[in-house]
Amino acid sequence: MNMHRFANPGRFVRLAERILPWTGGLAVLALGIGLYLSLFVSPADYQQGESVRIMYVHVPAAWMALFVYTVIAAASASALIWRHPLADLVARASAPVGAGFTFLALATGSLWGKPMWGTWWVWDARLTSVLVLFFLYLGHMALSNAFDDQSRGNRAAAVLALVGFINVPIIKFSVDWWSTLHQPASVVRLDGPSIHPSMLWPLLIMALGFKLYYVSLLLLRVKGEVMAARLRARSMAALDAT
Amino acid sequence: MEQMQTFLAMGGYGIFVWPAFALTAVILIGMLVTTLNHLRAVQSDLDRLQVPEQTQAQEARQ
């Protein structure tokens, strides 16, 4: 497929407007069903009791924290290598959302850690590497807005995103490489998920809702970036005309 | 009523479970609202810039 087919910003905005009602509607549906299942239908855990319900927001948020960073890294690579005009906008639009998901993963993890581990926070490999991820997002946001010429900021942020990508596999495998309080993966495993379907389904539906939410928000935010770029170009033209 | 109280208590973990869900709602809705506000602001700025251009074009036609 020709990568630049959807590179035309005007065409992208029209396409986004066609897709948005679907992703938005499905996001609301999945989050609604997921919320109902995770609060009312799924059972309490035999070890964790009702506190296990925090997992239904914590795990999807943590997955999205990694997923959004991966999207930013991929977009940054295609911005640096192929100069794809929308790639920078996807990265810019994603960074604050990724930071939001990462903060949510940290905060909900902390709320679960207090009753279950007896502490809000430990400086172990998993928690520390996720905190680093949060700072990478903040750094990306700061850097992409640090220059008057936005394209220079975008390029600097893209380099940061690619260098920082090393943190993603570190987060994923941190629970296997170092001894940690955080439990190892129980859903994404080679031998299949090790949690019961009555808990797996609410979790997967919530995760789907989070992903659809991100896609919808991304479409809206990239549209905003396209319009902001148009606004800058138009104000320049208006200045030149006077 | 008692059922409701049992549900809200979450087996004693209510003070941890409810803030987690509330924070999730606040962040997800907050990011959406911020995005929509930004879109609306940019759109109105664009419209404001567009108006003089149109009047210019009309003036040019006359």
Cα–Cα separations (whole angstroms), residue A76 to A83, A99, A127: 9, 17, 26
Judged against a pLDDT cut of 90, whether residue A138 lies above it is answered with yes
CA atoms within 13 A of residue A13's CA, in its CB half-sphere: 12
A14-20: long-range contacts, CB 8 A cutoff, minimum separation 24: A16/A219, A16/A220, A16/A222, A16/A223, A17/A223, A19/A219, A20/A216, A20/A219, A20/A220
* Cα A36 from Cα A175, distance rounded (Å): 30
Inter-chain contact A227–B16, Cβ cutoff 8 Å?
no
What is the tens place of the pLDDT at every residue in A153-173? 999 999 999 999 999 999 998
pLDDT digits (tens, 9 = 90+) for A56-98: 999 999 999 999 999 999 999 999 999 888 999 999 999 999 9
pLDDT above 90 (res A187) = no
Give the pLDDT band (50/70/90) at residue B9.
Answer: confident
CB A159 within 8 A of CB A102: no
- Closest CA–CA distance from residue B56 to any residue of chain A (Å): 11
CA torsion through residues B40, B46, B48, B51, sign:
negative
Select from B32, B18, B46, B12 the least CA-distant residue to A226.
Answer: B46
**Burial level of B43, CB count in 10 A (0-12/13-18/19+)?**
middle
Nearest chain B residue to A39, by CA: B7
Cα-to-chain-centroid distance, residue A49: 29
**Mean pLDDT value across residues B19-47:** 96
Give the Cα separation of A153 and A145 in Å (integer): 6
- Chain B residue set in contact with A, beta carbons under 8 Å: 10-14, 16-17, 19-21, 23-24, 27-28, 30-32, 35-36, 38-39, 42-43, 45-46, 49-50, 52
Token digits for A103?
């903060």
A189 backbone dihedrals φ, ψ, rounded to 5°:
-135, 155
Other Cβ atoms less than 10 A from the Cβ of A155: the count is 18
Q: Which of A67-76, A183-192, B6-15, B20-29 has the lowest mean pLDDT?
A: A183-192
> What pLDDT does A6 receive?
54
